Amino acid sequence: MAYPDDLLSSGEHVVIHKHPHWKMLIFPVFWLVVVVVLGIYLAGLVASLSWAPVALIVLAVVALVLVVWLTVAPVLRWRTTHFILTSDRVMYREGVFKRTGLDIPLGRVNSVRFEHSLLDRMLGCGTLVIESASDEPLEFDDIPSVEKVHTMLYREVNDNPSDDFQPRGV
């Protein structure tokens, strides 16, 4: 899914657009399976009781609340989190109801590095650390193909034609 072009300035184009790595969805899917299996098991236990209709309704409501809280909310959070590298800036957007955004102009980026553990290396993700003119380095966790993103960001910062040194009078 491409980032909306109307949010970009003129002449700016998207180089990379990523959501967080799919490993963030492991626990929400796990909890979905647990809630469904446990709900089916408990529904089977209460089915023979005299007050089964009420118990099944209560069970369904509790299961629905758990699925929304433990599965739907994290999936929506994952889906609405964007890491975007454009020809002019690095953008990070997150949030469903309360949106938060961060833009770093490429001219302000001092250094870029990445970190990933053994598990992250096996899954193909990691943490991208961008040092800019701000006080502290900014860390972006669970970036898929973090080495590729690191390389592309480094290229965009260093290959930016407006930043090239051009001596006068030569």
**What average pLDDT does the chain have?**
88
Helix axes 52-67, 26-46, angle to 10 degrees: 180
Which residue has better confidence, 166 or 160?
160
pLDDT digits (tens, 9 = 90+) for 3-28: 666 778 888 889 999 999 999 999 99
Nearest partner of 113 among 79, 147, 86, judged by Cα: 147
Query: pLDDT tens for residues 49-97?
Result: 888 899 999 999 999 999 999 999 999 999 999 999 999 999 999 998 8
Write down the pLDDT at residue 170: 45
Specify the pLDDT at position 167: 47
| Count of CB atoms situated within 10 Å of the CB of 83 | 21
What is the identity of the amino acid at 170? V
Distance CA 36, CA 42 (A): 10
Q: Which two tokens stand for residue 165?
A: 């040194």
- Determine the pLDDT at residue 140: 94
Whether 92 and 101 have beta carbons less than 8 Å apart is answered as yes
Helix (H, G, I), strand (E, B) or coil at 153: helix
Cross-strand pairs, 103: 91
